[in-house]
Amino acid sequence: MKLRIKGNSIRLRLLRTEVEKFAAAGQISEEIEFGTDRSSYLRYSLVTSPGAESIAARFSGNEISIVVPIAIANKWTSSDEVGFECEQPAKPRAIRFLVQQFERGWYPSRIPQQQIIQRASYILR
């Protein structure tokens, strides 16, 4: 799973095999360590939550989590949808995040952004 942070936006890109692991376990995480001190790390996760009513980003401790309602996660992982995009209010500006699945040799950047957004809107219905 790849993490991209630019400004106030976060993007997670998962291989199809990672999407399958997420579908089976309800979560997937990666971690990057900074130096030899075990407390110097950043974990980023995509998780499902039975109580979640909407997609949300959370930051606690050393972890960035994108929390997805189970119904949305099930719909996304069992279809050929590319991904979903959401915006979360925050001060001083909103946080945008995009979750995509991709395969090696296939570049979502070649898909018009409007098509990805339309697919995301479909998933969120």
What is the 3-class SS of 49-86, one letter each residue?
Answer: ECCCCCCEEEEECCEEEEEEEHHHHHHHHCCCCCEEEE
As a whole number of angstroms, the distance between CA 40 and CA 108 comes to 32
Candidates 2.60.120, 3.30.1760, 3.30.1360, 1.10.1040; CATH matching 2-124: 3.30.1360
HSE-up of 32 (CA within 13 Å, CB side)?
8
- For 46-92, the pLDDT digits (tens) are 999 989 999 999 999 999 999 999 999 999 999 888 888 889 988 88
Report domain extents, the chain. Answer: 2-124
Contact indicator for 18, 1 with CB cutoff of 8 Å? yes
pTM of the model: 0.79
